[in-house]
Amino acid sequence: MSAAHGTNTLTIELPEGILWDRAPTPESLAKEVLIAVAIEWYREGRISQGQGALVAKMSRTEFLDELFRAKVPACQVTVDELMEEVDRAALANRQRIA
């Protein structure tokens, strides 16, 4: 880990010629890989939006745009989970009032 930057360096070996038609420079390929990793980890619920933005080296707004382009919902809570939370809050409120 680089103490000056608080980052880790990861070296990945790819077959020669792979992906270069999509990313003409090593820097642009690295950027694409970081975005893809951040999106997938977010999709899996392993990281938050803020952490995804850090991994992808972009602002949270830019990361949200990338999620939209990748058709990944920005909200990690399902409708059922949200309804359960609302029910719990309503029950707690009724108990507090009683």
Q: Domain-by-domain residue ranges, the chain? A: 26-97
* 60-69 vs 49-56: helix crossing angle, rounded to 10: 90
**Other CB atoms closer than 10 Å to residue 40's CB: what's the count?**
14
The pTM of the full predicted model, rounded to 2 decimals, is 0.72
The pLDDT tens digits along the chain (98 residues) read 444 457 888 888 878 777 667 778 888 888 999 999 999 999 999 999 999 999 999 999 999 999 999 999 998 887 888 889 999 999 999 898 97
Q: What is the pLDDT of residue 1?
A: 44
Gap between the terminal Cα atoms of the chain: 55
User: Which of the 8 DSSP states describes residue 2?
Assistant: B
Q: So what's the pLDDT on residue 73?
A: 92
